[in-house]
Chains A and B, each alone.
Chain A
Amino acid sequence: DAGVIQSPRHEVTEMGQEVTLRCKPISGHNSLFWYRQTMMRGLELLIYFNNNVPIDDSGMPEDRFSAKMPNASFSTLKIQPSEPRDSAVYFCASSLGTGPDTQYFGPGTRLTVL
């Protein structure tokens, strides 16, 4: 199994530009999570999906952030317009959604907004 796949691994953009982060969860997993990690706030959940449906988006900072999961094998996190304070590492994770519900994390996307 290839594990959770994220792209791009690094993204550098200028303030005001649109940024799209992509995630492919582990095949067969029903839950998908987007986390953000910064030095100041640590790891925090942005949104999670179960069976492609958003269940909890209370962590999404503001309307500039949006996430979609059009099918079981793909999700996007979009920031429009981006701001310097959005600079962080964004992780995608997936889980079976049952049993111990172990979450498996991708390698992350390091976003820098200039």
Chain B
Amino acid sequence: DAKTTQPPSMDCAEGRAANLPCNHSTISGNEYVYWYRQIHSQGPQYIIHGLKNNETNEMASLIITEDRKSSTLILPHATLRDTAVYYCIVRVRGSQGNLIFGKGTKLSVKP
């Protein structure tokens, strides 16, 4: 699975959009980008995934650059409950086995 690079921490004002970047310059053509988050003291939670097209669901939007070497997770209207560590993971869709969690980005949403 391709390696990812994320900033260690970010701040965001409540009600504003939170844009979390991820670099995955060695991504292969059959690898998807997945985002999970972990709120303090809880298990990781799936957010969204995508291949090359932008994706949106009820939680977030995922923007993947045309060369697929980077992506951005967007939380359109961040709330205090979105304070968490966000993990960007790249892996082959449908591949069996574990998720490799890096250090992620600690997002702090402030009132």
B-binding residues in A (CB < 8 A): 4, 31, 33, 35, 42-45, 48, 50, 55-56, 59, 91, 93, 97-108
CB atoms of B43 and A91 under 8 A apart? yes
Check if B54 is an interface residue, CB within 8 A of chain A.
Answer: no
Is the pair B45, A105 in contact by a Cβ cutoff of 8 Å? yes
A102 contacts which chain B residues (CB < 8 A)? 34, 46, 49
Query: Shortest distance in angstroms between A15's beta carbon and chain B's nearest beta carbon?
Result: 25
Number of B positions contacting A (CB below 8 A):
19
Q: Which of B41, B46, B98, B102 has the most CB of A within 10 A?
A: B98
Chain B residue nearest to A95 in the complex (CB): B96
> Taking CB as reference atom, which chain B residue is nearest A91?
B43
Contacts of A42 in B (CB 8 A): 101-103
Q: For the complex formed, measure the closest distance between the CB of B109 and the CB atoms of chain A, giving whole angstroms.
A: 22
26 sample A-B contacts, Cβ–Cβ < 8 Å, listed by A number: A31-B96, A42-B101, A42-B102, A44-B101, A45-B97, A45-B99, A48-B97, A48-B98, A55-B96, A56-B97, A56-B98, A59-B98, A91-B43, A91-B44, A97-B96, A99-B93, A99-B94, A101-B93, A102-B34, A102-B46, A103-B99, A104-B46, A105-B45, A106-B43, A107-B43, A108-B41
A98 pairs with B99, CB closer than 8 A: no
The answer to whether A33 and B98 have CB atoms under 8 Å apart is: yes
